[in-house]
């Protein structure tokens, strides 16, 4: 089957190529720790609301059924809405897919989007990172705001007595450029003319006074 950027592609054995997403907080080449957490390879994927996220939802639900039970009544209560086909109504941090308008309303790029964080343990090699033409990608290529395809696997975990579901990141391929997130770029309006020789002289004098 051919990859569909609006739906993704199921590769079997729990591995998918997700629909094209915007990339945020990329740490794909060196492990990075947030706060007191463990260092890992990671990134956040952002999809406009209305994107067909059947495949990411499906591998999460399949993982839950395999880990806990095919009987959804035996799942952790936080995930029962998701099992009923409403995967974004839960605000639980233990569920992998989140509503940007609810969970991060003040974050640039998150409004009107669904997001998820993807992880890869530092015990493994860094995720494969490629350009659209399949050439190796660099950190400069995979910046916050570009569009990417992510190869994902779902996994279940238990931490401090809580059960959760998340996505493991196998690889990333750049799809297209996009507006950068979190970095203001200079424009012509940020500059002024400084042609007056008196200004230069005044600066020289002020600098001399300080030193």
88-111 residue pLDDT tens: 545 555 568 888 998 899 999 999
Q: Does some domain include residue 4?
A: no
The total domain count for the chain is: 1
Residue 36 CA to residue 41 CA, distance in Å, equals 15
**What CATH number should be reported for the domain holding residue 192?**
2.40.50.140
Q: Could you tell me whether strands 9-12 and 15-17 are parallel, antiparallel, or unpaired per DSSP bridges?
A: antiparallel
Task: Provide the domain limits for residue 19.
Answer: 9-210
Structural domain contains residue 1: no
163-188 confidence digits (pLDDT tens): 788 899 999 999 999 999 976 555 56
Residue 202 lies in a domain: yes
pLDDT digits (tens, 9 = 90+) for 96-151: 888 899 889 999 999 999 999 999 999 889 999 999 999 999 999 999 999 999 99
Residue 206's pLDDT is 44
Taking the C-alpha atoms of residue 2 and residue 94, their distance in angstroms, rounded to an integer, is 32
Closest CA to 20 of 153, 177, 133, 182: 177
In a domain, 83, yes or no: yes
Q: Let me know if 67 is exposed, middle or buried by CB neighbors in 10 A (0-12, 13-18, 19+).
A: middle
Q: Is-contact 128 143, C-beta < 8 A?
A: no
């Amino acid at each position: 089957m051919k990859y569909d950027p609006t739906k993704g592609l199921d590769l079997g054995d729990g591995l998918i190529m997700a629909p094209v997403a915007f990339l945020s907080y990329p740490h794909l080449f060196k492990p990075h720790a947030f706060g007191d957490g463990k260092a890992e390879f990671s990134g956040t994927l952002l999809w406009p609301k209305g994107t067909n996220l059947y495949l990411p939802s499906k591998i999460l639900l399949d993982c839950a059924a395999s880990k806990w039970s095919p009987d959804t009544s035996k799942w952790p209560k936080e995930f029962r809405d998701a099992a009923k086909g409403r995967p974004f109504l839960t605000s639980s941090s233990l569920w992998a897919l989140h509503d940007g308008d609810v969970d991060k309303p003040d974050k640039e790029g998150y409004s009107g989007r669904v997001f998820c964080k993807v992880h890869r343990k530092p015990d493994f090699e860094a995720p494969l990172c490629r350009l659209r033409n399949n050439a190796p990608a660099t950190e400069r290529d995979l910046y916050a705001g570009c569009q990417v395809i992510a190869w994902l696997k779902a996994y279940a975990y238990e931490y401090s007595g809580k059960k959760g579901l998340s996505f493991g990141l196998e690889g990333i391929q750049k799809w297209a450029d996009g507006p950068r997130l979190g970095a203001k770029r200079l424009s012509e309006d940020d500059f002024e003319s400084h042609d007056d020789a008196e200004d230069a002289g005044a600066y020289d004098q002020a600098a001399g006074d300080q030193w």
